[in-house]
Amino acid sequence: MPRYTAPVDEVLFLLNDVFQIARYDNLPGFADASSDVTAAILGEAAKFCEEVLQPLNQTGDSEGCTRHPDGRVTTPPGFKEAYRRLIEGGWLGLSAPTAYGGQGLPATLTAVVNEFLCSANMAFSMYPGLVQGAVAALLLHGDEQQKATYLPKMISGEWAGTMNLTEPHCGTDLGLLRTKAVKQADGSYRLSGTKIFISGGEQDLTENIVHLVLARIEGAPEGTKGISLFVVPKILVDADGSLGERNGVSCGSIEHKMGIHGNSTCVMNYDNAVGWLVGEENRGLAAMFTMMNEARLGVGIQGLALSEVAYQNAVAYAKERLQGRALSGAKFADKPADPIIVHPDVRRTLMSIRAFNEAARALVLWTALKGDVAHRSEDEAERQAADDHMGLLTPVIKGVLTDRGFANTVAAQQMFGGHGYIAETGMEQFVRDARISMIYEGANGIQALDLVGRKLPRDGGRAVMAFFNEVQTYIAERTDDAVMKAYVAPLATALGHLQQATMWFMQNAIGKPDNAGAGSHDYMHLFGLVALGYMWCRIVEAARGKQAAQGNDGDAQLDAKLVTARFFMERMLPETAVQLARIKAGADAVMSLPAEAF
Amino acid sequence: MPRYTAPVDEVLFLLNDVFQIARYDNLPGFADASSDVTAAILGEAAKFCEEVLQPLNQTGDSEGCTRHPDGRVTTPPGFKEAYRRLIEGGWLGLSAPTAYGGQGLPATLTAVVNEFLCSANMAFSMYPGLVQGAVAALLLHGDEQQKATYLPKMISGEWAGTMNLTEPHCGTDLGLLRTKAVKQADGSYRLSGTKIFISGGEQDLTENIVHLVLARIEGAPEGTKGISLFVVPKILVDADGSLGERNGVSCGSIEHKMGIHGNSTCVMNYDNAVGWLVGEENRGLAAMFTMMNEARLGVGIQGLALSEVAYQNAVAYAKERLQGRALSGAKFADKPADPIIVHPDVRRTLMSIRAFNEAARALVLWTALKGDVAHRSEDEAERQAADDHMGLLTPVIKGVLTDRGFANTVAAQQMFGGHGYIAETGMEQFVRDARISMIYEGANGIQALDLVGRKLPRDGGRAVMAFFNEVQTYIAERTDDAVMKAYVAPLATALGHLQQATMWFMQNAIGKPDNAGAGSHDYMHLFGLVALGYMWCRIVEAARGKQAAQGNDGDAQLDAKLVTARFFMERMLPETAVQLARIKAGADAVMSLPAEAF
């Protein structure tokens, strides 16, 4: 049976010591989240995740969701009751505006809670996750009536939400989509078409589901410029807010998939369904994109979350499983064998995952804080800088954290030998569940292209220059620090590789965009390593500061930070050299085979 | 629905042009395998795999195996009939000795056929695969009566075979095993104990199953020096060769696993089962190890096989799926979108898999040929050199081909976007099936340790020196070749890294073995890249030779070899520099955290 303990202390260290969240107290909602309050909230979230959600994770996988002949979908046993408790705990409204019944606390806290929820039970966590996405879209683009109608019920958790983008023939290329919307005399629309891969499209957890749907209004331009966003409730809402008639939307089937079996992935049929335009006509894609940063940050968090829970289980097994003897001589001569954590290759694996997890969590929180600044600051320059950061780092976090997060679940599974391949230990479920995070909300190849093709050149490179400047300044100010230079020197080398790669694109990809495409994957991962390396430097500095303040009395967890950072610098960061070499190799060998030769 | 076409032409190019198999005609059985005969055999194997086995692959996964209350196990629908056709085709005896009813053809051909079988249906292919392993063990260590009793029926395919090593508390560390054997007055033994993870331990394909079982004879020394090997038939064989009574061995349960659902993974209970000693008392582990090379080569082939079939399906999808436009401008303006194969990141993915597959197949065939030399040559020096090669390359092939093969199935699945996560396309099955190859027959961490700790130092480094010498000589002889130098120069760099890493171990790991353990994973992969790079040079040279002989008339497949080799040299081989850096970082950061800090 797998286990999970939410890393509350680790989060508090990051929030209080590394990022000093108290400095943000001028932002709305932040003063309410004092250190004590935050600790209490996270403690409650941890308890809910560990005691309620985690025990439902394996059964949710083995039981899955069921679609009944009448189109109803039931979620796995226990999910309904757990969802009720989620609602009661107010977890859906933690960071939502108080005007609609939310608690208005920093969205950064929601990012933390989302990690815990996902580690405990990814399939379950996607139900509230999608609600958050739909709430964000309505907040940004809905009119006052739409907000008043839907938001309070969604923020309380009574109603769920979904995002309907994909159709059988179009995923990444939404310009191809065919779902039709026909305008009615009363200003509403009638939608017809088929959407696929709709997470939580139908379920038995909530009394209503608010579908956000991309469709093409009759007569709209072809391609991406003719797409509009609509709100289509499963059950129509009467003027007094009570539930009325069933709308013309139903679940045609649910998919048999590799993992996240506890989440219903639906084919949704829209058959003359009543919907209302959200935002402007033909501006639906833009509306989607403004909420994409948060959604993609959420998926990056899933990569981290599964890496974390897989790591915890691998550590526990490595300490318990007796097999073989340490290369340097038996460590537990009284036992029939040593625990496998004595073996360097087991250590190497665990250290690799740990060195990723801790820095990835820092990167998520750093970026989530920027998100709060971007949405809540009264200073426009501050908002813009934070928004630049979000835009730049979002594809990096989504792509790198899910690629590496998945790889880490595989590595953690490997620690179990044959037992890891058996469903009972739960390790193979982490692998299957984590796999989707590399695919949805824009497959990782698209993230890389978004980074290189859109985010780098945007506003004359303002965002990337600001990032380089911050890291470079940080390094320069610490080069003379006897301890810190061991960490900032390798970071400087890696940053140099990233800057060279950026320069190479500027010189070689404008005239030949295939050079950007061929290097985009490596560039995204190179960027990720530099960002994680920077996080490690900041973690080390905060740990040293705390050690100094505590009188350096050998706090094992703080000592461990320095060792883990060294491991990262010695064994993970050096990959940037190869990534740069691959980028500079350009597109020739990649593109020169004719398609028929494949 | 996934598809598969066995790469017959590719294999014939490797056998005839790259390795010039005709040069081996002095070995027994090789002259019978003329180029025409080989082509005909592989054509038949391809047909069987494509038409009979591949169509059963998805249903085998979804239906799985069933254990009935009486202990019987039924395999998925269609498997029994397919097995009958496998037997009728004589595929189990292709390379087996003619003395026991085999065809005596090169084992290299069996390696090829095993790749095809596994690409078509991995779960099915494991049933005959395990028979091959058991046949090899009996051929090497059985006495004349055992051989006469079991081999003809196993080689014809009428009886199956299994290997019983693992117990609940011991996998890698077999010294801990507890299954007991008690000697009887008639020279037989009675075995009692529980074995787990026994592939094909019970099934409905054959009338008898010949279990090879590791157990400890009463009073034997503790640890690995007290383990003996036994043959334990499911149904006892009477003196006249007919089937007699049921033996005391039964299937207690079958495992629920991540993949290979069509193969029954059994818990086997031995309850006073009658068995006979194979080889000498207390020399069971040595007996297992002498057949390990072939079994591990077979698992390496599985990594290649799933990489190949996943690649073929990803290519087909990339040519069909219309989504987006080429970065350099629309390629098919008449269609609603371009096929995704125009995108550089899709190409990069496909080229990476292809560049692995072709060189990995070469590495397998090169090593399989060495295996034939080691077993069939009359020249002792030749046999020893070939055996050295086998011993050295086996952990590399097992570890590297399965690590990369699995990663390639993940990359191929990624090409499908969300559709790759759905069972229907079959891509997620390849991922789940491939995953086990990294674990069984010695988890890949053990392969790395075997390479570094055992194979490198053996006989004063004779095997590794011979390998270095061969590659170095090959490079030196081509440095002045205007075309070849583009390929041998990067290989020389990579070989230099491998030699430096080897030297570093000699200088740093003898006194501190953790330095070897901490670098073993990277060393194995560094070795693999050098071996694959060497294969690419030989492929390029053979392709050029064939182009010259054909008058260089632009054979697209031969041209593609040169491009793919360039891709490998530019984008995959450079990783050796980072691997060397990690190895030289040593064990300090890996090992210095106390176990409690995890």
For residue B173, the chain A residues in CB contact (below 8 A) are 322-324, 337
Residues 6+ apart with CB under 8 A from B398: B296, B297, B299, B300, B441, B442, B444, B447
pLDDT mean over A371-400: 97
For every residue of B125-160, DSSP letters joined together read: HHHHHHHHHHHHHHHHH--HHHHHHHHHHHHHTSEE
Percent of chain A with pLDDT over 70: 100
For residue A315, the chain B residues in CB contact (below 8 A) are 598
Please check whether residue B114 is in contact with residue B92, taking contact to mean a CB–CB distance below 8 angstroms.
no
To the nearest whole Å, the CA of B276 is away from the closest chain A CA by 28
**Which amino acid appears at position A44 of this protein?**
E
Residue B494 has pLDDT above 90, yes or no: yes
Closest chain A residue to the Cα of B565, Cα to Cα: A589
pLDDT mean over A504-531: 97
For every residue of A354-388, DSSP letters joined together read: HHHHHHHHHHHHHHHHHHHHHHH-S-HHHHHHHHH
How far apart are the C-alpha atoms of B529 and A361, rounded to whole Å? 33
How far apart are the C-alpha atoms of A402 and A288, rounded to whole Å? 21
To the nearest whole Å, the CA of B330 is away from the closest chain A CA by 13
Tokens of B531: 């071996």
**Chain centroid offset of residue A369 CA:** 15
Residue of B435, B566, B575 lying closest to A589 (CB–CB): B566
CB contact under 8 A, A439 and B449: no
**Residue with the larger pLDDT of the pair A289 and B531:** B531
How far apart are the C-alpha atoms of A131 and A110, rounded to whole Å? 13
Residue B553 has pLDDT above 70, yes or no: no
For every residue of A382-451, DSSP letters joined together read: HHHHHHHHHHHHHHHHHHHHHHHHHHHHHHHHHTTGGGGGBGGGSHHHHHHHHHGGGTSSS-HHHHHHII
Residue of B423, B453, B589 lying closest to A566 (CB–CB): B589
pLDDT mean over B475-502: 97
Q: Does B409 touch chain A (CB under 8 A)?
A: no
To the nearest whole Å, the CA of B413 is away from the closest chain A CA by 10
pLDDT given at position B292 = 79
How far apart are the C-alpha atoms of B557 and B565, rounded to whole Å? 12
Please check whether residue B439 is in contact with residue A421, taking contact to mean a CB–CB distance below 8 angstroms.
yes
Q: Does B486 touch chain A (CB under 8 A)?
A: no
HSE-CB for A456 with a 13 A CA cutoff? 23
CA atoms B63, B68, B74, B77: torsion sign = negative
Residue B196 has pLDDT above 90, yes or no: yes
Q: Does B32 touch chain A (CB under 8 A)?
A: no
Task: Tell which residue, B97, B122, B108, B141, has the closest CA to residue B20.
Answer: B108
How far apart are the C-alpha atoms of B50 and B8, rounded to whole Å? 12
Residue of B432, B560, B574 lying closest to A581 (CB–CB): B574
How far apart are the C-alpha atoms of B92 and B103, rounded to whole Å? 9
pLDDT class for B18, splitting at 50, 70, 90?
very high
Can you list the pairs that A40-46 forms with residues at least 24 positions away whose Cβ atoms lie under 8 Å? A41/A94, A41/A105, A41/A109, A41/A113, A42/A6, A42/A8, A42/A11, A42/A12, A42/A109, A42/A112, A42/A113, A42/A116, A43/A8, A44/A89, A45/A6, A45/A91, A45/A112, A45/A113, A45/A116, A45/A117, A46/A5, A46/A6, A46/A8, A46/A116
How far apart are the C-alpha atoms of B67 and B78, rounded to whole Å? 17
List the beta bridge partners of residue A164: A213
Task: Tell which residue, B302, B266, B245, has the closest CA to residue B162.
Answer: B266
Please check whether residue A95 is in contact with residue A45, taking contact to mean a CB–CB distance below 8 angstroms.
no
pLDDT tens digits for range A433-450:
999 999 999 999 999 999
CB contact under 8 A, B592 and A417: no
CB contact under 8 A, B557 and A597: yes
Closest chain A residue to the Cα of B445, Cα to Cα: A345
Residue A553 has pLDDT above 80, yes or no: no
Residue B471 has pLDDT above 80, yes or no: yes
Candidates A299, A590, A592, A596: best to mutate against B (most CBs of B within 10 A) is A590
CB contact under 8 A, B563 and A255: no
Q: Does B510 touch chain A (CB under 8 A)?
A: no
Tokens of B102: 């085999």
How far apart are the C-alpha atoms of B591 and B587, rounded to whole Å? 6
- A279 φ, ψ (degrees, to nearest 5): 75, -155
Tokens of B562: 């040169």
Residue of A169, A421, A578 lying closest to B574 (CB–CB): A578
Residue A551 has pLDDT above 70, yes or no: yes
Residue of B342, B567, B578 lying closest to A589 (CB–CB): B567
List the beta bridge partners of residue A192: A180, A271
List residues of A with catalytic annotation: 441
Residue B565 has pLDDT above 70, yes or no: yes
List the beta bridge partners of residue B192: B180, B271
Q: Does A255 touch chain B (CB under 8 A)?
A: yes
List residues of B with catalytic annotation: 441
Instruction: Output the CA–CA distances (angstroms, integers) from residue B178 to B9, B195, B236, B443, in the order listed.
Output: 49, 10, 24, 21
How far apart are the C-alpha atoms of A389 and A462, rounded to whole Å? 10
For residue B581, the chain A residues in CB contact (below 8 A) are 574
Task: Tell which residue, A557, A533, A529, has the closest CA to residue A543.
Answer: A557
Tokens of A406: 């998945």
pLDDT given at position B552 = 61
For residue A560, the chain B residues in CB contact (below 8 A) are 593, 597
Q: What is the mean pLDDT of chain B?
A: 96
Please check whether residue B283 is in contact with residue B295, taking contact to mean a CB–CB distance below 8 angstroms.
no
Residue A170 has pLDDT above 80, yes or no: yes
How far apart are the C-alpha atoms of A545 and A529, rounded to whole Å? 24
Residue B211 has pLDDT above 90, yes or no: yes
Q: Does B448 touch chain A (CB under 8 A)?
A: yes
C-beta neighbour count of B252 within 10 angstroms:
15
In the numeric block, the tokens 């590595």 are attached to A411
Contacts with B, A 48-107, CB within 8 Å: none
pLDDT class for B551, splitting at 50, 70, 90?
confident
How far apart are the C-alpha atoms of B211 and B189, rounded to whole Å? 14
Tokens of A365: 């929180």
Q: Does B590 touch chain A (CB under 8 A)?
A: yes
Which DSSP symbol is given to B454? I
pLDDT mean over A145-165: 97
To the nearest whole Å, the CA of B187 is away from the closest chain A CA by 32
pLDDT mean over B568-580: 98
Contacts with A, B 452-471, CB within 8 Å: 453
pLDDT given at position A116 = 98
Candidates B311, B347, B514: best to mutate against A (most CBs of A within 10 A) is B347
How far apart are the C-alpha atoms of B248 and B236, rounded to whole Å? 10
pLDDT tens digits for range B54-95:
999 999 999 999 999 999 999 999 999 999 999 999 999 999
pLDDT given at position A445 = 97
Q: Does B364 touch chain A (CB under 8 A)?
A: no
Residue of A341, A566, A594 lying closest to B595 (CB–CB): A341
Residue B1 has pLDDT above 90, yes or no: no
pLDDT class for A556, splitting at 50, 70, 90?
confident
pLDDT mean over A244-260: 98
In the numeric block, the tokens 């630049």 are attached to A388
pLDDT class for B369, splitting at 50, 70, 90?
very high
Residue of B347, B423, B598 lying closest to A350 (CB–CB): B598
Torsion of CA B430, A434, B299, B154, to 10 degrees: -60
pLDDT tens digits for range A329-380:
999 999 999 999 999 999 999 999 999 999 999 999 999 999 999 999 999 9
- Residue B41's Cβ-count burial label (10 Å; 0-12, 13-18, 19+) is buried
- Radius of gyration of chain B from its Cα atoms, rounded to whole angstroms: 24
pLDDT mean over A497-503: 98
Tokens of A162: 């979904």
Residue B169 has pLDDT above 80, yes or no: yes
Please check whether residue B287 is in contact with residue B141, taking contact to mean a CB–CB distance below 8 angstroms.
yes
To the nearest whole Å, the CA of A27 is away from the closest chain B CA by 36
* Structural element, H or E, at residue B182: strand B180-183
**Which amino acid appears at position B44 of this protein?**
E
pLDDT class for B287, splitting at 50, 70, 90?
confident
How far apart are the C-alpha atoms of B141 and B124, rounded to whole Å? 27
CB contact under 8 A, A344 and B590: yes
How far apart are the C-alpha atoms of A88 and A91, rounded to whole Å? 8
pLDDT given at position A248 = 98
Task: Tell which residue, A8, A69, A203, A197, has the closest CA to residue A124.
Answer: A203
CB contact under 8 A, A328 and B512: yes
A–B CB contacts, 8 A cutoff, strictly below: 259
Percent of chain B with pLDDT over 90: 95
Contacts with A, B 542-581, CB within 8 Å: 556-557, 559-560, 563-564, 566-567, 570-571, 574-575, 577-578, 581
- A575 φ, ψ (degrees, to nearest 5): -60, -20
List the beta bridge partners of residue A181: A191, A217
Q: Does B327 touch chain A (CB under 8 A)?
A: yes
For every residue of A56-85, DSSP letters joined together read: GHHHHHHH--EE-TTS-EEPPTTHHHHHHH
